[in-house]
Amino acid sequence: MKESRLRSLLKGLTWRIIATSTIIAIAYFKTGDVSLALEIGFIEFFIKLLLYYLHERAWQGLPVGSVRKLFKRK
């Protein structure tokens, strides 16, 4: 069953919220600067959301079972 583009986008958004909160906390811990931590998180959010979406769509383009066939031993 293939996922819709909207579902891929929503999955990416919810994951990015979790992951970006983590990176903001790490950046704040390392720098002690809230402004810098938020800036890093902002940049990271959009770059990784785009990469995640493209990754999801690429996987949706593969026929089901094609990856398994690639690694199947003969």
Amino acid at 1: M
pLDDT band at 9 (very low <50, low <70, confident <90, very high): confident
Q: Is 33 helix (H, G, I), strand (E, B) or coil?
A: coil
Q: In angstroms, what CA-CA distances link 65 with 38, 56, 59?
A: 41, 16, 11
Long-range contacts from 20-23, C-beta under 8 angstroms, 24+ separation: 20/44, 20/45, 20/48
- CA 54, 56, 60, 61 dihedral sign is positive
- pTM for this predicted structure: 0.65
Q: What is the pLDDT of residues 38-74, one digit of tens each?
A: 999 999 989 988 898 898 888 888 777 766 677 776 5
Q: Which residue segment(s) compose the domain that 27 sits in? A: 5-71
Structural domains in the chain (count): 1
How many residues are present in the chain? Answer: 74
